[in-house]
Structure 1
């Protein structure tokens, strides 16, 4: 395991990479002894420094929950990160691509909780009962660690590669729609790039919410009412660059559009 000094140093490197929109060498190449617990400790130091600076936490992202994403990254274990209020965009937004590194888009559903949710034995049924509504969302990936050869330790340390999210406008309660069958057609500059259905996330997109509640229980914490939970992508990540226009059609849950400037 890493020392507290090493954890603080890596968190500082990642904070500077975030500020400068740069990339640092893989943590696991320099510290092969680093563990998953170390990576969450690094993420926690970075999170707490941002909170102390005045940023407001609005929710959590869950990543690597689908076979598509696991095959795309070579990582088979889900992870999670934090989301701040200044990273949330609405459909139709112009997104400054220079604010991010290794910029890619993922297709997801987000859930807003109406009641707290806690482990240790949380089920998908418990998660659905705690969810106020689902809303379609695009996640903007923002990777500050070199991609080649990265492991789950690298990804978690880098706030699970979260950069921003773009929220749709259609809200559905879990009893209003079969969430497993929410579709997505993802376009870049008018050309279709990816398709998928939400069941690609652990057979039900709310399963990730239950997983996260159980994971939090291990740290004596719970998910709180009002939090936004980004449940994980059910397509492969799509690279984007300045000038690209992105459109995702979620069928009965509407359309999200954004442009990278």
Structure 2
């Protein structure tokens, strides 16, 4: 594993890149021996420093849970990051594009937990029982590490490339709708760019919630009541720029619209 001082230095470098909205060279190009455990350690230092500065953790994002996203990134296993309260937007909001780097949008479902969820043997049924409701969401990607040649180590260290989340207005309990068949039709400036269905995420979008609970158990942690879990994209990421209007139609779960300014 990387030495603690190297982990701290890389976390500080990523924090500065976040503040200045710039991109840094790949960690794996400079430290080819870095492991997945190193990358979560870097993310953990960055997370703890943000918490100490007063930011409030409201949930977790899971990434790379669909074949579409794995093929788009060349990364073949899921990852996760943290979400803070000041990264949450709502349908109809203006999204300040200058806050992010390599700005892209993904189509997802988010889940709000009504009770804690923990492994080591958490199943999809357990996850569905712990979920209060599902809500449509767009994830805004925010990558501070150069994209070409990056590995899962680079992505995880960069908080799994999470930037922000735009929430819809329709809430559905898992017993009210077959979540596997929630559609997503993603448009930029009136032109359809990506389509998919939520079953593209591990066969069921809540499967990732169970995966994350089991992953957390390995570190002696659990998912807590009230947390928002962003479950992973079922479309490829769509690039956006200043002035773009983004719309996603989720069929029975409504529409999300936002503008990047």
After TM superposition, the score normalised by the length of structure 1 is 1.00
2:232 maps to 1:232:
yes
Distance in 2 of aligned mates of 1:193 and 1:90: 21
2:218 maps to 1:212:
no
Q: Counterpart of 1:116? A: 116
Where does structure 2 lack aligned partners over 5 or more consecutive residues? none
Q: Counterpart of 2:244? A: 244
Deviation at 1:39, TM superposition (A): 0.2
- Aligned pairs, number: 261
Tell me the alpha carbon deviations over residues 193-232 of structure 1, each in whole angstroms, 9 at most, x when there is no partner: 0000000000000000000000000000000000000000
Q: Counterpart of 1:184? A: 184
Distance in 1 of aligned mates of 2:93 and 2:75: 31
Distance in 2 of aligned mates of 1:21 and 1:57: 21
Aligned residue runs from structure 1 range 11-160, under 5 A: 11-160=11-160
Distance in 2 of aligned mates of 1:43 and 1:75: 18
Q: CA RMSD in A?
A: 0.2
2:4 maps to 1:4:
yes
After TM superposition, the score normalised by the length of structure 2 is 1.00
Distance in 1 of aligned mates of 2:146 and 2:77: 19
Three-state SS of the structure 2 residue aligned to 1:208 is helix
Distance in 1 of aligned mates of 2:143 and 2:122: 31
Deviation at 1:235, TM superposition (A): 0.1
Q: Counterpart of 1:196? A: 196
Deviation at 1:145, TM superposition (A): 0.0
Deviation at 1:92, TM superposition (A): 0.4
Where does structure 1 lack aligned partners over 5 or more consecutive residues? none
Q: Counterpart of 1:168? A: 168
Runs of 4+ in structure 1 displaced over 3 angstroms? none
